Amino acid sequence: MMNKVKLFAMDVDGVLTDGGMYYSEKGEVMKKFDTRDGMGIELLRKSGIIPVIITKEKSKIVLKRAEKLEIEEVHMGIQDKVGVVKKLIKKYNLGFNDVAYIGDDINDLELLKKVGFSSAPNDAVEKVKRSVDYVSTRRGGNGAVREVIDFILSKSDVV
């Protein structure tokens, strides 16, 4: 049985986005985000769950999206995702069991194995999908985050 989720952390590329790298004629990088994921994040906040972005990338696009979604905890350029979550659980007086995380690739595995509830989009790498508590029926950037949030919020013992 899942513990109460108090902090929901997300990777970006392949989770909040479809993992594609889009370039304009001028060489500007663009990313595709799903609007429904944004509404899910709003529902998290309204339920008192802290939304967190933890990504290896450093991108102004991610900052813009986080600002729009009112995500205050944005951690970019991160190699050690477990270290970031350790600091967050100390800051918010939580434990790893209070944390949910959605990731899609091997650099997410260590954190996925530590949190109280782990999940992945349907198009995550196989090794990740075999390691998590919940695999979304949706792909990254196409509502996977919203599906996981809806699942968490539907569990009466979670919030």
State the pLDDT at residue 28: 84
* Other beta carbons within 10 Å of 57: 15
Give the residues of the chain that fall short of pLDDT 70: 1-3, 156-159
Number of domains in the chain: 1
CA distances from 95 to 17, 41, 86 (A): 28, 21, 8
Residues 48-74 pLDDT 10s: 999 999 999 998 999 999 999 999 999
State the pLDDT at residue 159: 45
Quick check: is 159 in a domain? Answer: no
Q: How far apart are the first and last CA of the chain?
A: 13
Residue whose structure tokens are 């989770």: 15
Quick check: is 85 in a domain? Answer: yes
State the pLDDT at residue 156: 57
Q: Which of 83, 56, 73 is nearest to 6 (CA)?
A: 73
Model pTM score: 0.94
Quick check: is 70 in a domain? Answer: yes
Residues 23-42 pLDDT 10s: 989 888 889 999 999 999 99
Quick check: is 47 in a domain? Answer: yes
Domain of residue 38 covers 7-154
Counting residues of the chain whose pLDDT is more than 90, the rounded percentage is 85
